[in-house]
Amino acid sequence: MHHFQYINDELFCENVPVRQICEAVGTPAFIYSRGTLERHFRIFEEPFLPVDHIVCYSMKACSNIAILRVFANLGSGTDIVSGGELFRALAAGVDASRIVYSGVGKKASEIDEALKAEILMFNVESEEELHLVNQRAVALGKRARIALRVNPNVDPLTHPYISTGLKKNKFGIDVERSLELYGRAADMEGIEAIGVDCHIGSQLTELSPFLEAIDRLKEMIGILRSRGISIQYLDIGGGLGIPYDQEEPPAPSLYGTAIVDRIANLNVKLILEPGRLLVGNAGILVTQVLFRKQGPEKSFIIVDAAMNDLIRPSLYNAHHAVWKVARKTNGVNGRIVADLVGPICESSDFLAQSREMEAVETGDLLALMSAGAYGFSMSSNYNSRPRAAEVLVDGDRYFVIRDRESYQDLIRGEHIPPAILQTS
């Protein structure tokens, strides 16, 4: 469910015409619906209300501080994976006591920043990281609250690039090794082991991998408690998928109820890290048609958005529905099959391939749906293309929450050494 709909064949975001936004801010532009963000958060959290829990939005999906603030206002914390994400979360007003720090490659300076901010806990991913967190905590006169990220060797049944719970993945520590490290952590001066963490992948469309992972974690928590290690938190990550095309992921209510039933009597505070589920269908990327081109074997629609704006189709062969901002329901223009491509000098620069859609003309606006997650946050300046504007719609109003980058922004921070400036 989202708040993008046609009114008299004109696409609206909530109560604002998408065309009106694009006429003001230009294209490409990411447009988000506050109503959808809030609705998704509440629907996700509702089945977990019977148990002690914290929702920590996985901000790598979409990290604009306005989006973070929308969720913080609803009581959300954040799941972060870098010092930059910590900075963003705090700037947005997220309560540091509701921040968990994941990721396999934390630098000492980033660990220090998180310790000084007094975040809830670190999700530690290796033995060497555990020792570094301990060293930094001792040096700062603090105790770092940690969970070990356990790799339960569960197949998440998702794209291999976003699978994280198998032994061959770089994430986490296998169960047997984790049990050993918890014992060592108990003797470390700067460490307080308070939780167990697990995240098996992203865009999961089956419930069984989640439940299988939880069963293995429950057994592990029982062993740890029998050894005198008090586990207070169970972080089960995120990963529940959304429907981009023909996917049919479990409804949040079914997902939540199954998990609550599975952890009954476990006596832990549950930490949940949804990302894509909250923001994916709450955002669109709007682009303008530049040219139409007929090749020997294919038709191409060339638009002003590209793989640097939305890399998911090129990286994952991901599907994003294409909606015309102004459609013709009488079908006067007919339908075509074409590749939707951008201006970047790569054959991999496509947003849709062999896609059937309503025929378009130069100047038409197209909306790539379900672009709220891993859209702007994975965008780049490849081919020296300024990054797109971001806009948040709230009822009948809209706000630019990130300015479109300028050419000057592209070279900010770059310098030509004096010796090179000198001419011979």
Q: Is 26 annotated as a binding residue?
A: no
Helix, strand or coil for residue 422?
Answer: coil
Helix, strand or coil for residue 144?
Answer: strand
Catalytic, out of 56, 62, 198, 345: 345
Phi-psi region of 343 (alpha: psi -120 to 50; beta: other; left: phi over 0): alpha
Residues 322, 369 contacting (CB under 8 angstroms):
yes
What sign has the CA pseudo-torsion 383, 386, 387, 389? negative
Alpha-carbon distance of 164 to 198, in angstroms, equals 9
Q: CA angle at residue 81 from 312 to 151, to 5 degrees? A: 85
Q: Is 312 annotated as a binding residue?
A: yes
> Which amino acid belongs to residue 120?
L
Q: Is 192 annotated as a binding residue?
A: no
Q: Is 346 annotated as a binding residue?
A: yes
Q: Is 239 annotated as a binding residue?
A: yes
388: Cβ contacts below 8 Å, ≥ 6 apart? 27, 28, 29, 30, 285, 305, 309, 376, 379, 404
Residue 302 tokens read as 């060339």
Alpha-carbon distance of 122 to 199, in angstroms, equals 14
Residue 157: name the closest of 212, 235, 214 by CA. 212
Q: Is 75 annotated as a binding residue?
A: no
Is 62 noted as a catalytic residue in this protein?
no
Q: Where are the alpha helices (DSSP H) in 380-423?
A: 407-411, 418-421
Residue 154: name the closest of 169, 139, 138 by CA. 169
Q: Where are the beta strands (DSSP E) in 183-328?
A: 191-197, 233-235, 269-272, 283-294, 299-303, 322-324
Per the DSSP assignment, residues forming a β-bridge with 235 are: 197, 271
DSSP codes, 28-95: SEEEEEHHHHHHHHHHHHGGGTTS-EEEEEEGGG---HHHHHHHHHTT-EEEE-SHHHHHHHHHTT--
Main-chain phi, psi angles of 48, to 5 degrees: -95, -5
Alpha-carbon distance of 59 to 16, in angstroms, equals 26
DSSP codes, 310-324: --HHHHH-----EEE
Per the DSSP assignment, residues forming a β-bridge with 390 are: 30, 402
Residues in binding site for pyridoxal 5'-phosphate: 239, 273-276, 374
Residues in binding site: 239, 273-276, 312, 316, 346, 374
Catalytically active residues are 345
Residues in binding site for substrate: 276, 312, 316, 346, 374
